[in-house]
Structure 1
């Protein structure tokens, strides 16, 4: 008899390309997972995977079967969620943390598509800095994060999706606004805004500039990227920001300039807990984030 748990196991292995990772996500042992896949293969009469000591690949039959199996799993979980919703006030919940500059670009279009398909899934969206993001994902208080991976953590998986330039923003009347080619050492005499609370962007800039023995004039103190932008609106000083922040804020009169020697980028993507099982709704939301992020011009 075909069991939904066997189909869930197949979809999970196919998505992760790993029996070990899939077993962790399903919270079962690897031998138990292998037995589920073997039973499914025996029932439908085809091999679904080719296995080596290090890699797992779908066979041609497995690729053909994957979308049908995924639809059965999703339809079953949707039906169960609807029944739970009809019998109680219980709702599915996805807990999301994101950098504000990324969330403003990504969350609205993803929500539009996701909630049309899963209207019974509630979202808890929290904006936070990159350091907090890694910490909360590692603790398991977030199902996923959208941002930077600031420090290696065994409890966090990071899927890098894009690379974004870090530079400076200033008022259009500032001397830097008229410069086409900037180096970090050219900015040493200008007052810069720094975050009182350490942020991922600030740490990345500091590490890169220390290697070049460049010391900037961290003069103004702020608590957020928005606060940093406020300090430069009057025409005084510079703020270090990613390009996406300027696009999101859309404040007239501000100019973004990339800076070289060294050129500094940040890798952005999706963070998920490595020690907890993801629901199919979390996996679908992550897939939507990945799809939209890959289509943006960074």
Structure 2
């Protein structure tokens, strides 16, 4: 039980306001109280403390020695209360609201279900809006603020964006199960040249990533079939129309027996999938909570190793 039952927050706020303004009139205006109501609050506080806090004349209001000693403590109590209330309020808000995430299609199909599933179990009150798009659209949505995050990769450094890395996703060869390259444990990039290559168009993020990474080995495939969606490339490979290069996370779970997947080496090329966000600008409470929850999830690490088959 308190030794000062007459001390309450209303009295502390009244005391701090009068001390700050050195005026009962101005304090009453700030607190939206009548002069008499403010006077009663100060009197109740002084009686509870058994101290005089102010010296009042018709022209001035000044703190007594006791009031001057008490003022920083009263301010500290109010500031601590405000900070605690803000913390509780933001924590509550972080569990409600809407979060918009833009995601490239390979991640949307193969990684997003796990990410969203884990997060939804932790934060069922948050409404998620998911946008599946190509890399250019994902990054544009994030830069323009239409999405809080993108789950994708960056081809090159972008001043407006930064990435929280989630996993390393190497590029692999997809070829028919009876193709000569399927007999290899690994395949070098130069060994792809004799074969018809099914590859993303030159404006796609994956194609730009490969062109940049393989510039030093003069990678210039010429027998090309250009496609827009990776799922299309896998269908063409299965039909025996060529070989293709795909990110490992895009390998279908039922690929074994229908197509062969082999590691590509000399060099090994991989993209880094992560949570793309704006460098500047304040994240919403929901977005901060999602980012923290994603960090606390079991690390996704690298995608699973490739086997023969």
Q: Is structure 2 residue 233 aligned with structure 1 residue 228?
A: yes
Q: Tell me which protein shows more helix as a share of its residues.
A: 1
Q: Where does residue 245 of structure 2 map in the other structure?
A: 240
Q: How does 1:18-167 map to 2 (within 5 A)?
A: 43=76, 72-77=88-93, 92-167=97-172
Deviation at 1:73, TM superposition (A): 4.5
Q: Where does residue 282 of structure 2 map in the other structure?
A: 277
Q: Where does residue 178 of structure 1 map in the other structure?
A: 183
TM-score of the two chains, using structure 2 as the length reference:
0.64
Which has the larger displacement, 136-145 or 157-166?
157-166
Q: Which is greater in Rg?
A: 2
The question of whether the paired residues in 2 share the 8 Å contact of 1:144 and 1:270 is answered with yes
Unmatched segments (≥5 aa) in structure 2:
1-8, 10-71, 78-83, 304-309
TM-score of the two chains, using structure 1 as the length reference:
0.66
Deviation at 1:205, TM superposition (A): 1.2
Unmatched segments (≥5 aa) in structure 1:
2-38, 45-67, 82-91
Q: Given the superposition, is the C-alpha separation of residues 278 and 78 from structure 1 closer, same or farther in structure 2, using an over 3 Å criterion? A: closer
Q: Where does residue 217 of structure 2 map in the other structure?
A: 212
Q: Where does residue 202 of structure 1 map in the other structure?
A: 207
Distance 2:253 2:297 in 1: 16
Deviation at 1:43, TM superposition (A): 4.2
Q: Please provide the CA RMSD for this pair.
A: 2.9
- Report how many aligned residue pairs link the two structures: 225
Which has the larger displacement, 190-199 or 238-247?
190-199
Deviation at 1:253, TM superposition (A): 0.9
Q: Is structure 2 residue 263 aligned with structure 1 residue 258?
A: yes
Deviation at 1:70, TM superposition (A): 10
Deviation at 1:217, TM superposition (A): 3.0
